[in-house]
Amino acid sequence: MRSEEPAKTLVRVGVAVPSGGCRRWHGLMLESLGEAGVAVDAAMAAPREVPFPWRALLPLERLAARPRKDLFARVGQVCVSLDEARPDLLVLPPGCRATSGLLARLPLGALEIEPIHPARLGQGVLEGRLFWRRAGSPARLAASTFTCAEGPWPLSWAGTHLAKTALLPSRVLAHYKLAGEAFWEDCPQAQPLPPYSPDIGHWLRFLGALAGHGLMRAWRDILHRRQWHLALRPGDGHPLRPGFATEPFTALLPPGKTGWADPFLFHRDGRTWLFIEEIPFGKKGVVSVMETLPQGGFGRPRRVLEEPFHLSYPNVFEHGGLTYMVPETAQAGQVRLYRATDFPGGWVLDRVLLEGVCATDATFLEHDGAWWLFANLRPEGGSSWDELHLFRSESLFGPYRPHPLNPVVSDARRARPAGSIFRRDGRLFRPAQDCSGWYGRALAVMEIVRLDEGGYEEKEAVRLEPGLIPSSFCLHTFESGEGLEIVDGQRLVPIWR
């Protein structure tokens, strides 16, 4: 019989620390579990978190990069024996399997972290999976995450991947507390891959990929500079219309070495304004605005908001007869609400909606009598590309409460917001960045099919690839209105131009 009762008592979760000692990512896991977590002396050898051949490069990269929060560094941690800890659930290190004898001692079983494996590394992302085993039952897939993997150099993705993987057990616990045994029953049966051991063929392919990636980076980063720019085409913004995914855009290039990105259209008093992030060469971003001209095209941009910190993603909207903007202010550690006193300029800080967070690309939606704030939050040691969080309030002005199942999306291919959420034919669509391979590579339009305090679900409706913009290798924001569809892209410009 299916149980729908949530777990009401505290579930004690042990984190098995292998004989090699506790590392910083173990500490992240314990911290995320809070009072439910306890470090357990596993008295077992575990495979290294990053296997060969990537492990061969990791010490060199760590020495060169000197990451401030090295998740592979050893840390002091008091551990207790399994008998003393008496956990309900035990998290095992990557590559370790729970024996039948061990499972018999654990009321809720064991969580096994799948080791990094090339079979899970492809198309610009690395998939991490967490499996749940119980005595007498097949393994089940309890949680997964997708991390951007740009090239073969491991430090660029291995640390971020471990930071996210370390948070998976606490997310499984959150689901279990909310749904009880129904969550376990809904987890699909699956088996983790064994630890990876490369043969000579794998080593040769790795060395070839390493050389090719190094040459590509040298050509791209030494001989070129990057420039963000806009692109547009006629259209009604409906993602399901014929031609939406295939019709090309026409580039709208900024002057000189300036960059333009993050377009947001706003219509007021019979006039249409395009707010953008303007990026002066070598400087922080500011918010500028251009007006559409009667004969077509846009006027010259003028700066309307500048702060001591970086600004981008100027999300402009109207509420209660007033015009507001929530730009990205992650460098300030806040989500800020600005109000226009002399539109399209005259922006003043109205209030701080979230404090002490590194939140990127905050996007708002009024839905079913509530205000929802969508934003990517950067976990400690992780990336701002991968984890979509939701916050809810009865008012635009807060207070905002985090969703109990945050992050509701942990996937570099569709987490980070990429423009205003919009309705078409009674359906909700959310533009999302696809950061597989590199930042802002492409755009996925997701249809929201569930949004409430008990859960969040979405499915991909359509995609926009960077090839729709001439000479662009990115397409990372979508906006529509007044018969226009506007995106942004990034191109390489030779340094001698």
pLDDT digits (tens, 9 = 90+) for 162-173: 889 999 999 999
In the DSSP assignment, the letter for residue 416 is S
Average pLDDT over residues 300-329: 96
Q: Tens digit of pLDDT for each residue in 186-241? A: 999 998 888 888 888 888 888 898 898 889 888 988 999 999 999 999 999 999 99
Q: What is the C-alpha to C-alpha distance for residues 405 and 454, in angstroms, rounded to an integer? A: 8
CA gyration radius, the chain: 24
Percent of residues, the chain, with pLDDT higher than 70: 96
Residue 104 in tokens = 């018999």
Find the range with the poorest average confidence among 192-196, 439-443, 491-495: 192-196
Give per-residue burial for 435-456: e unless 16+ CB within 10 Å, then b: bbbebbbbbbbbbbeebeeeeb
Tell me the mean pLDDT in the region 179-186: 94
E-strand spans in 334-440?
Answer: 334-342, 345-355, 359-367, 370-377, 387-393, 401-402, 409-410, 422-424, 427-434
Q: Report the C-alpha gap between 317 and 326 in whole angstroms.
A: 9
Compute the average pLDDT of residues 80-94. 92
The closest alpha carbon to 448, from 490, 417, 492, 494, belongs to 417
Percent of the chain with pLDDT over 90: 70
Average pLDDT, the chain: 91
CATH topology of domain 218-494: Tachylectin-2; Chain A (2.115.10)
Contact 388, 415 (CB under 8 A): yes
Query: What Cα–Cα distance (Å) separates residue 396 from each residue in 325, 400, 402?
Result: 12, 9, 14
Residue 323: pLDDT over 50: yes
| Mean pLDDT, range 246-273, rounded to an integer | 95
Closest CA to 485 of 425, 427, 422: 422
pLDDT band at 444 (very low <50, low <70, confident <90, very high): very high
What is the average per-residue pLDDT within 86-96?
91
Q: What is the DSSP string of 4-27?
A: -PPP-SPPPEEEEEPTT--BHHHH
13-198 is a CATH 2.40.160 domain: no
Tell me what percent of the chain is helix, strand and coil, each rounded to the nearest 5. 20, 40, 40
Which of 25-39, 255-269, 320-334, 346-360 has the weakest average pLDDT? 25-39
What is the b/e burial string over 279-290, where b = at least 16 CB atoms within 10 angstroms of the residue's CB?
Answer: beeeeebbbbbb
pTM, rounded to two decimals? 0.93
User: Which burial class, exposed, middle or buried, applies to 418 when counting CB atoms under 10 A from its CB (0-12, 13-18, 19+)?
Assistant: buried
Domain positions in the chain: 13-198, 218-494
pLDDT of residue 246: 97
Of 160, 159, 121, residue with least CA distance to 386: 160
Q: CA geometry: angle at 375 spanning 358 and 303, to 5°?
A: 75
Would you state the structure tokens that stand for residue 380, as one six-digit string?
């400690």
Residue 101 has pLDDT above 60, yes or no: yes
Residue 470 DSSP one-character state:
T
User: What is the rounded CA–CA span in Å between residue 43 and residue 17?
Assistant: 8
Q: Please compute the mean of the pLDDT values over residues 18-37 and round it to a whole number.
A: 88
For residue 278, the Cα-to-chain-centroid distance in whole angstroms is 23
Q: What is the CB neighbour count within 10 angstroms for residue 243?
A: 9
Q: Residue 46: name the closest of 80, 82, 93 by CA.
A: 93
| Confidence at 6, pLDDT banded by 50, 70, 90 | low
Strands 121-122 and 109-113: unpaired
Position 1 scores a pLDDT of 39
Question: How many other CB atoms are there within 10 angstroms of residue 52's CB atom?
Answer: 15
Tokens in use for 33? Answer: 């579990």
pLDDT average, residue stretch 417-434: 97
